[in-house]
Amino acid sequence: MNLLEFQGKELFKRAGIPVPRSQHALTPHDVAAFLEAQPGEWVVKAQVLMGGRGKAGKIKMAEGAAHGRSVAEEIMASPMPPNRQNPSGEPIKSLLVEERLEIDKEAYCAIAIDRAARRPVFIVSRFGGMDIEDVAEHHPESIVKFFVDTTIGYSPYIGRELAFRAGLDPGYRKTFPAIAGGLYDLFFRYGAKLVEINPLALTADGRVIASDAKVELDDDALFRHSEFEAWRSALPLDEDELLAAGAGVGIRNFRRFPGTVGTMANGAGLAMATMDAVANAGGAVADFLDVGGGANAQRVRNCYELVVNNTGAKVFFINIFGGITRGDEVARGIVDAMQQTASRKIPLVIRLTGTNEEEGRRILREAAMTPVETMDEGAREAVRLSREA
């Protein structure tokens, strides 16, 4: 679960990391009311998960109630424009009104999980305020890392060493070890996969402040932190995620694409290979769908409806290799779906092998369906049918 800036900063505050004075606002009216009581220059920032807010005109200065209201209305008038990773953009549901900082220097500080080292890794650079991947490209020497031994945890020398090695401005030195420690505490306390301060600002009056906050919590750890339930339920699921949840599969198990070959497989690896097989056969997939382990007849039925009712699929390629998932259960789900569905019917291409495959194939044959033998054969057949349809 990715947190919005104001949520991340709430956690920063709890961990003792300095953040600008701010007020979360749901409407332009709230912004105006806050600025009425708070004279001076403020910054109004759209609360979205997408990057590139500044360039999109979604961060603006405001002074006074009337100006604040018009700026807020302007920001909320249109959603974040789409980019490659977010083809549908993102609606703006709230704003953060924040103290305007006189920023002198901008640094970068993050903790992520290093897969290869199997350790949390601090990443620090004296170049903040831009995408870390751009820093990696243009100033690779400026990026310093520290792999933390989890049996020891954080100790202030780590922060001191990072500050020196990264060549942070001397203005950072006094407070950086405590900020890094707060960040590590937050990282572990809440089970985060990524915590990032970008930029970590050094202000003209010598304060070190987290000017932005990016926190990604581990979905698998949310059961240990019931306090995030309200945030989780308020987070905007995208349409695919909502559809997946409705069908009873994981929210990451379903993605739609513009093609005409619907796909479903058990297991993410096989589902990705199924997409690849369709592409290899010259077709374009309508979706990625991992029906999950141990799928029963009901879930298979739900998945049929999910693909048929929500994608441009003209044919549906079902590719099951049974391990935990039993072939007879899948076959029953398919037959039930076809016999009872009120949705449109599209040609099915079914590849079913592994656990209880004979029983599964018998069920399909009795319902007058012919399973194919291999994944490649199934993909070819599905692509052929998608062109006829």
Partner 1 sequence: MSIFIDKNSKVIVQGITGAEGSYHTDRMHRYGTNLVGGVTPGKGGQRTPQGLPVFDTVREAVDATGATHTCIFVPPPFAADALYEAYDAGITFAACITEGVPVHETLKVVGATPGMRIIGPNCPGLASPGKSLVGIMPGHVFKEGRVGVVSRSGTLTYEVVDLLTRAGLGQSTCVGVGGDPVIGTNFVECLREFKNDPQTEAVVLCGEIGGSDEEEAAAFIAQHMPDLPIVAFIGGRNAPPGKSLGHAGAIISGRFGTPESKIAAFEAAGVPVAGRPSEIPGLLAERLAAVATR
134 to 193, contacts with partner 1 by CB under 8 A? 149-151, 188, 191, 193
CA distances from 107 to 208, 251, 305 (A): 10, 35, 50
Instruction: Find, among 5, 13, 94, the residue nearest to 51 by Cα.
Output: 5
Instruction: Pick the binder of partner 1 from 73, 218, 305, 359 (CB under 8 A).
Output: 218
Q: Which is nearer to partner 1, 40 or 250 (CB)?
A: 250
Let me know the angle formed at the C-alpha of 314 by 311 and 318, rounded to the nearest 5 degrees.
Answer: 80
Tell me, rounded to whole angstroms, the distance of Cα 176 from its chain centroid: 29
CB of 218 to partner 1, least distance (A): 5
> How far is the C-alpha of 174 from the C-alpha of 217, rounded, in Å?
29
Q: Does 266 bind partner 1 (CB under 8 A)?
A: yes
Q: In this chain, which of 28, 159, 181, 267 binds partner 1, going by CB under 8 A?
A: 267
Is 279 an interacting residue with respect to partner 1 (CB under 8 A)?
A: yes
Q: Is 271 in the site for partner 1 (CB under 8 A)?
A: yes
Binding piece for partner 1, criterion CB under 8 A, among 34-42, 58-66, 94-102, 110-118: 110-118
Tokens representing 59 are 């961060």
Examine residue 79 and tell whether it contacts partner 1 (CB under 8 A): no
Residue type, 77: A
- Residue at 163: amino acid letter: A
Bond preceding residue 199 cis, omega within 30 of 0: yes
Residue 183 in tokens: 């960040």
Query: Which of residues 55, 85, 205, 339 is near partner 1 by CB under 8 A?
Result: 85
201 exposure class (CB count in 10 Å sphere: 0-12, 13-18, 19+):
buried
- 255 touching partner 1, by CB under 8 A: yes
> Does 252 engage in binding with partner 1 (CB under 8 A)?
yes
The residues binding partner 1 (CB under 8 A) are: 84-86, 113, 115-116, 118-120, 133, 149-151, 188, 191, 193, 218, 220-221, 223-224, 250, 252-253, 255, 257, 265-273, 275-277, 279-280, 285, 288, 290, 293-294, 321-325, 353-355, 374-376
